[in-house]
A and B are shown apart, each in its own frame.
Chain A
Amino acid sequence: MTTITATRAEVCVVACAEAFRGDGEILAAGIGGAITVLAARLARLTFEPDLITHDGTCLLTGDVPPLGETPQVVEGWLPFRDHLWLVLNGRRHVMLGASQIDRYGNSNISCIGDWARPRSQLLGVRGAPGNTVCDPTSYWIPRHSPRVFVPKVDMVSGVGHDRAAEAGPSAYRHHDLRRVVTDLAVLDFDSPDHSMRLASVHPGVTVEEVVDRTGFPLAVPDPVPRTRMPTAEELRVLREVLDPGSLREREVPDPGSPAPGAPASSQGRQAPGPSRGRETPA
């Protein structure tokens, strides 16, 4: 049996793809960038073949093209108006980004600081409010840090468990936060009070690192599982078919093989804003 070696980015793609497992014939909507788009396409090409994926604009692709390539087969049309309709309809699992996220999964992409006169104006809430109360929602956070994982977000854009419960049945009826994948770990809300729980740490990452880099108390099971490694077939599809140009590695630089307890990755001092263009509603 050969040993499988995968980069951190590849572990992240698979962890994001796992979010779509069991989704069936619905749209897997990534927010853009390499990892979430690869995740949806990888899931479709391997364990979730009925998923619907799009080209980043308004085409539903009949084939599953490599990152950045034009689809050869088109199976549907989803202009923005229909994408916004689909959000309300719910046959869609979205993987959002967040500049801030709190322990109940409230997220912020709108602005940092006081809303009336923000220190840093970001995108605006976009579709996060509707997405989170209408569709299964997961998050992809490329740099796990206390600047992102905060006790309280400055402007609730995506709705978390506590806020959905407060807002009543219309808000929580379809509210379905699935998982938060970061460069260090997978988190979910499978705890008694639906607060964020450490579901698994990526290979080479310690529980302490994740706890240290999270700005609020995490529910931590004992023991904490390890995020699964990609299979040989998943790695083949990723490396040879979907992303031969290795764009995934630019989004999540590989920390190499750190000694136990060493920092899992060099954390860039990046502003807590979205790091890339978003092409679809979210």
Chain B
Amino acid sequence: MTGKVMTVEEVVGSLRSGMTVGIGGWGSRRKPMALVRAICRSPLDDLTIVSYGGADVGLLCAHGKVRRVIAPFVTLDSIPLEPHFRIARQSAAVDFTEYDEGMFMFGLLAAAHRLPFLPTRAGLGSDVTRVNPGLRTVRSPYPDGEELIAVPALTMDVALVHLNRADHRGNAQYLGPDPYFDDLYAKAAERCYVSCERLVDTADLLKEGPVQSLLISRSMVTGVVETPGGAHFSSCEPDYDRDEAFQRAYVAAASDPEAWKAFRERYLSGDEAAYQEAVRLSRESA
């Protein structure tokens, strides 16, 4: 039963500075935050982050880990704007490849299918083409002759995703209402690491969800980590909802360097177990 089971430190220890890292989930939903927090504690830097962005992008920016963000948005959903991403952009601390949401999906699909690009209408006429001067168009070879944006494949060195359940081989299952794009990240990356709320026996996977909930096959997965609460403070339905109070505290702390220092000290100065314990204590005192 050794299989692919790892610790968050082992996963992050296998990454290298300068890598392109895809991060699953959407906004402030089912983000692999335990792995993100471990990157924040590591010496890694100069990363390119590919994400339908949320606090994953914000935290990594706040810790100086990011060279470039590739995203259609960075948002906390119930709080529209991500404060650390804003700070990073407004101080030009990170480069930004800004795509339309549909373009971004086609970039993932192209990479997952080992294609160099996929054509789409999305982006035409917008300033996405102005701020991405490397983007090219492609003309349909058929009689329609349409000229479309050729979205380059969003290939990645590594994908990090958080699912509800997984087995020790890396088969991974979502139990919430939306798979997001986690399977595409897994297929688009050279390596994919899955963190999960709970590791279960393969025979038990279908006890909690239908066969359609088996989103990621072990052939796509390099390593799997059990991290209960590993998506916190983003949501991980049905195991838990977004921790709105904590998210508000995160945003409030970002508005002031001293407050952010105190927040980091309180929650982010130790390992994942220390983080979870600090969150538990803050709930008790609330």
Q: Which residues from chain A sit less than 8 Å from chain B, CB to CB?
A: 57-59, 77, 79-81, 84, 87-88, 110-111, 115-130, 132-134, 155-159, 163-164, 166-171, 173-175, 273-279, 281
In the assembled complex, 30 residue pairs joining A and B whose CB atoms fall closer than 8 Å, in A order, are A57-B178, A79-B178, A80-B52, A84-B102, A111-B89, A117-B90, A118-B89, A122-B80, A123-B73, A124-B75, A125-B72, A125-B128, A126-B72, A126-B73, A126-B101, A129-B122, A129-B126, A129-B128, A130-B121, A132-B125, A155-B127, A155-B131, A156-B126, A164-B125, A167-B124, A167-B125, A170-B121, A170-B146, A278-B75, A281-B101
Residue pair A277, B98 in contact (C-beta under 8 Å): no
**B90-115 CB contact bits vs A (8 Å, 1 = yes)?**
11100000111111010000000000
Alpha-carbon separation in the docked complex, A134 to B103 (Å): 13
Residue pair B124, A159 in contact (C-beta under 8 Å): yes
Alpha-carbon separation in the docked complex, A163 to B79 (Å): 31
Taking CB atoms, residues of chain A closer than 8 Å to B131 are 115, 155
Residue pair A171, B121 in contact (C-beta under 8 Å): yes
Check: B74 CB closer than 8 A to any chain A CB.
yes
- Given the contacts A80-B181, A273-B81, A121 and B125 also touching, CB distance less than 8 Å: no
Residue pair B125, A171 in contact (C-beta under 8 Å): yes
Interface residues of B in 61-81 (CB under 8 A from A): 71-75, 77-81
Closest to B178 in A: A79
Taking CB atoms, residues of chain A closer than 8 Å to B101 are 84, 87, 126-127, 130, 281
Residue pair B178, A130 in contact (C-beta under 8 Å): no
Alpha-carbon separation in the docked complex, A53 to B80 (Å): 22
Residue pair B72, A124 in contact (C-beta under 8 Å): yes
**B177-212 CB contact bits vs A (8 Å, 1 = yes)?**
111110000000000000000000000000000000
Taking CB atoms, residues of chain A closer than 8 Å to B105 are 81, 84
Q: Which residues from chain B sit less than 8 Å from chain A, CB to CB?
A: 26, 52-53, 71-75, 77-81, 85-86, 89-92, 98-103, 105, 120-128, 130-131, 146-148, 177-181
Closest to B101 in A: A127
- Given the contacts A111-B89, A155-B131, A273-B80, A59 and B177 also touching, CB distance less than 8 Å: yes
Taking CB atoms, residues of chain A closer than 8 Å to B124 are 129, 133, 159, 164, 167-168, 170-171
- Given the contacts A80-B178, A278-B80, A88 and B102 also touching, CB distance less than 8 Å: yes
Contact pick for B179, options A81, A115, A122, A274, CB 8 Å: A81
- Given the contacts A115-B131, A123-B81, A87 and B102 also touching, CB distance less than 8 Å: yes
Residue pair A129, B178 in contact (C-beta under 8 Å): no
Alpha-carbon separation in the docked complex, A80 to B177 (Å): 10
Alpha-carbon separation in the docked complex, A59 to B73 (Å): 22
Alpha-carbon separation in the docked complex, A23 to B77 (Å): 28
Taking CB atoms, residues of chain A closer than 8 Å to B81 are 121-123, 273-274
Residue among A79, A121, A130, A278 facing the most chain B CB atoms (10 A cut-off) = A130
